[in-house]
Amino acid sequence: MVSPRRGFYVIVPPEYRVAGSLPAAWFIRDLMECLARPYYVGLLTAASLHGAAHQAPQEFQVVTDRPLGVIEIGRVRIRFVKKARLSRTATIGVKTPTGEMRVSTPEATALDLVRYPEHCGGLSNVATILRELAERLDGGELVRVAEVDGEVAYAQRLGYLLDRAGRPEIARALAEWVDARAPRATPLSPGAPITGTERDGRWRVAVNEEVDLEVRANLVGRGRRQMDQVRDRLRRLRDEARALADAPSLSLDSVSDWRRRASAAIEEIYGADSEAARDFAKIKFDEIPLPAADKALRRGLYEAADLLSSLTL
């Protein structure tokens, strides 16, 4: 049992003992009810849930109305981002193994990514994610979200980044909405100087930061169906790892075969130099004669299963 916050406890079953906690998605709703704070799961975590993240975020990001400290329990890290007028954000319910959690809609997620680039790897990473998220965006809903939000500058920056991401058609209605308000030029990167910078006429954006979209050959352009197939493949490998770890007896050959197939799948999906592939390579499987290695092999399988669970969140 672990306690993310005083007075709130999470029971950790044996299959999650290596991770040190259940996945945050399993208890975030109950935690926020305990804290008596409104919330929604947002930013990179929401983008991942909508099928638009190159790899699983390294932290579970939650938007709420007050500053809250980071929670770290085992391998689970929860970061809270404060946002004013939280109730204006459009959300949907997403089912979890323990119930349901609130998640920002694809359109609200897109606007939040632009609002908080410091929590999302910077504007270049935001643009790359938007290229993937665009498949889930509705142009009319983007306008509605921007209208409710009421801050035109964020809509300008979002439109510019969608153009840079090669998805100007998604932002056509948003461009008309922005143009009707005839806003002043806004800096792409707030706080940085704009003197002498290039101006984007369509969005009235002063381009004071260079945006370089990362080439993600393995995942960019995949449809929702393909993303679901990826998750199913990783879930099958995860379930196989847990079955091996719980088996009455183990063999080095069976574990080695599973490791080979899991490593190949991760490298094929995310790339050989990806963070996911590096994390998998770090998992310790002590390759010494059984039965001395039995405990280490089981521990490694559980840890690998937890990593695969995080990739399929």
What confidence tens digit (pLDDT) does each residue in 10-67 have?
Answer: 888 887 777 788 889 999 999 999 999 999 999 999 999 998 865 567 789 999 999 9
User: pLDDT band for position 288 (50/70/90)?
Assistant: very low
DSSP assignment of 113-124 equals HHH-GGGTT-HH
> Using an 8 Å Cβ cutoff, are 91 and 105 in contact?
yes
Task: Look at residue 117 and tell me whether its pLDDT is greater than 60.
Answer: yes
Domain spans in the chain, listed from the N-terminal domain onward: 1-104, 123-219, 224-311
Per-residue confidence (pLDDT) for residue 219, from 0 to 100: 42
Write b or e for each residue in 160-169: b if 16 or more Cβ atoms lie within 10 A of its Cβ, otherwise e: bbbbbbebee
- Which tokens hold the place of 40? 């929604």
Confidence of residue 271 (pLDDT cuts 50, 70, 90): confident
**Are 113 and 47 spatial neighbours (Cβ–Cβ below 8 Å)?**
yes
Using the predicted structure, report yes or no on whether residue 99 has a pLDDT greater than 50: yes
**What average pLDDT does range 91-106 have in this prediction?**
95
pLDDT exceeds 70 at position 227: no
- The pLDDT value given to residue 222: 46
User: What is the phi/psi pair of residue 168, to 5°?
Assistant: -65, -25
pLDDT digits (tens, 9 = 90+) for 73-98: 888 899 999 999 999 999 999 999 89
Most confident of 3-7, 88-92, 243-247, 248-252: 88-92
- Three-state secondary structure along 64-128? ECCCCCCEEECCEEEEEEECCCHHHCCEEEEEECCEEEEEECHHHHHHHHHHCHHHCCCHHHHHH
* Whether pLDDT at 153 is above 90: yes
Type of residue found at 207: V
Q: What is the DSSP letter of 55?
A: S
pLDDT at 281 over 60: yes
Which residue matches tokens 């399993």? 26
Find residue 41's DSSP bridge partners.
62, 103
d(CA 38, CA 32): 7
Q: Is the pLDDT of residue 223 over 50?
A: no
Residue of 280 and 189 predicted with greater confidence = 189
Chain mean pLDDT for the chain: 85
Task: Give the C-alpha separation, 237 to 239, whole Å.
Answer: 5
Q: Is the pLDDT of residue 136 over 90?
A: yes
* pLDDT tens for each residue of 49-58: 998 865 567 7
Q: Is pLDDT at 252 greater than 90 in this prediction?
A: no
With cut-offs at 50, 70 and 90, classify the pLDDT of residue 198: very high
